[in-house]
Structure 1
Amino acid sequence: MQLQLKLRRISLLLLGLAIAAGGELFYDNGKGFGTVQAAAAVYAADSGAAAAFNDIQGHWAEKEIKALSDKQFLDGYKNTQDGSLSFKPNQNITRAEFVRYFVKSKGLPLSNNTESEFTDLGDSSQEDRGYIITAVEYGLINGYPDHTFRTDSTITRAEIAAILSRSEMLPPAEDASFADIPEDYWASDAIFAVQQAGLFDGYEDGSFRPDQKMTRGEAAAVIYRLIDASVS
């Protein structure tokens, strides 16, 4: 008992010294005090949440990926051999991944509803299911006529433009145009609106390429622009 009291006093002394030094602290389930940063690193290594991705240095979207990952809006892939984390910025992003990152970045409260009209969510992780249901309830994204969501399918530039436009309730653009977007294209209004808002760019040849798949790096950059614009 006396030994426990001594250990407790030592822990409290260390806590006081750390506070005096301006450190941010947490108490690790009775095991001792440590920094919040250290806790985040342990969490990241265990869960795949972003700590330091080993494949983004020098990538054109490195700043955006790091900024979002520092806020734990993004996650990556854990290397089972050495425990390192990869983001895979040039890999196409899936519908489930983008919805998860977007809902987190926007800080949307997750729905308490567990029921869904989509017939293919049974194979999804429980976490993805919650983010997808939330996004659908907010009117950000739809499924397909066959009542599927297709979580592992890649997502296109047009689909992401539609999500951004709905999320921000962007007004129609007046003078925007792209060579490959006819007026009757299903997402034309959304595409023109996000371009006018500075969230999405076209290409030098005057095209938007609406059916082109988005990479994970490109998706991170788009989300970063949206979040950065909302706090500027």
Structure 2
Amino acid sequence: MKTLLSLIAAVILMFSSFLSPAKAIVLFDDVYASHPFAFEIAYLYEEGIINGYRDGTFRPNDPVTRAHAVAMIGRALNLDDTSRSTGFRDVSANNRFSGYIASAVEEGIVFGFPNNYFRPNWTVTRAQTVAMLDRAFYFPEAPANTFKDMSANHFAFDAVSRLAHQGVARGYSNNTFRPDVPVTRAQFSAFLARAIEPSFIPEKQELLMTANDILADLKAKKFSDVATYVSSTDGLTFCPYSGGCIDSGGVTFTKSQLPNFMKNSTNYLWGYQDGSGFEIKLTPAKYYSAYLMNATYTAKERYGQTIQPTTHEFIHQLYPQATIVEYYYPGTDRYGQMDWQSLNMVFEKNSSGDWQLIAIVNDRWTI
């Protein structure tokens, strides 16, 4: 059996795709640093989402069972794992995954089979994996995939299209997806890691670096530099609350107006205080201090899972194709973290496929 020392830090490697200096990553006896999904596996292990075996192995090439797939997704979503009746004839309340299975069914992530069977030990295919992840996480509509072995009437065709377009699911060099091939533990880890942490997708990592540059410009009040990331036709919209943005629409500035943002003396109606309904009528400079940058936001190495999921739900109602980079201020112990705030940069691709900043949506506790 592996000792504690050999379990931890088989090697120290540079996370070349991240902004941080070298970090120790935890690898298993059979997952070397050179493994194509080593970082994804290490990340999920670090987050407590995946486990290895008692002999210190991960068994990356083994297939994934339905029970294990549901458990890993359940841990990623913090689903209720309390052991309980599932209603399935082959999953008793004593099954160690009964809580995750019951929760995943309740959330519509996975379904059973006729006659109340779940088949927890059946292996999961690549297509089934993508379908579960598509139901578990938000992915916008996407162009139809062009994999040679995926027909439009395949049950997972749309899910594969969405996840492939986002870079979460990838095919093979011969333009096949191999939907009916059992997914391996390493492949499942890669799919899941990309679904919950976009930094594992090179394009999304570049976008995160761009967002960090924009954050620095906002802190320095360099709105002329912020304007370089904004569309000439759509401008940049500011909203003080994610929910209120749906009702009021916020205030939109053109690309040419942004350089003079802090000098603009006009009192704009940005929206209404969430809860009280009072008007938020301020100059841009006062809005900057009271809402836009009224918290300590720091650059990020990873996207990270949102603490306030309804914030993203509201934003996606307005911008269904958007990718959101959220900067979160957790609040203070003094107020029991009720003084949390967030700054959400909303990006969409233009017709040329370039990312453009279209909105900055703040959020905070309802007054």
Q: Report the TM-score when normalising by structure 2.
A: 0.45
Other-structure match for 2:149? 180
Give the counterpart letter for 1:119 in structure 2: R
Number of residue pairs matched by the alignment: 180
CA, structure 1 residues 86+210, in 2 after alignment: closer, same or farther (shift >3 Å)?
Answer: same
Other-structure match for 2:357? none
2:70 aligns with one of 99, 108, 113: 99
CA, structure 1 residues 111+96, in 2 after alignment: closer, same or farther (shift >3 Å)?
Answer: closer
Task: Describe the superposition over 1:40-69 as per-residue Cα deviations: whole angstroms up to 9, x where unpaired.
Answer: x69x99xxxxx7521111322111111111
1:116 aligns with one of 86, 106, 115: 86
Greater C-alpha Rg: 2
1:162 aligns with one of 131, 139, 146: 131
Higher relative contact order (CA 8 A, sep 6+): 1
For 1:117 and 1:218, locate their aligned partners in 2 and report how far apart those are by CA, in whole Å.
30
Other-structure match for 1:53? 28
2:190 aligns with one of 218, 221, 224: 221
Shift of 1:175: 3.9
Root-mean-square deviation (CA, aligned residues, Å) is 2.5
For 1:125 and 1:100, locate their aligned partners in 2 and report how far apart those are by CA, in whole Å.
15
Give the counterpart letter for 2:155 in structure 1: W
Gaps of 5+ in 1: 1-40, 46-50, 80-84
Q: Which structure features the higher share of strand residues?
A: 2
For 1:136 and 1:147, locate their aligned partners in 2 and report how far apart those are by CA, in whole Å.
12
Q: Does 1:66 align with 2:42?
A: yes
Other-structure match for 2:98? 129
Sequence identity of aligned pairs in percent? 31
The SS at the match of 2:86 is coil
Gaps of 5+ in 2: 9-25, 199-302, 305-324, 326-367
For 1:183 and 1:113, locate their aligned partners in 2 and report how far apart those are by CA, in whole Å.
39
Shift of 1:106: 2.3
For 2:28 and 2:143, locate their aligned partners in 1 and report how far apart those are by CA, in whole Å.
41
CA, structure 1 residues 184+127, in 2 after alignment: closer, same or farther (shift >3 Å)?
Answer: same
Give the counterpart letter for 1:61 in structure 2: F
Shift of 1:111: 6.0
For 2:127 and 2:90, locate their aligned partners in 1 and report how far apart those are by CA, in whole Å.
23
Q: Which structure features the higher share of helix residues?
A: 1
CA, structure 1 residues 164+182, in 2 after alignment: closer, same or farther (shift >3 Å)?
Answer: same
Shift of 1:201: 0.8
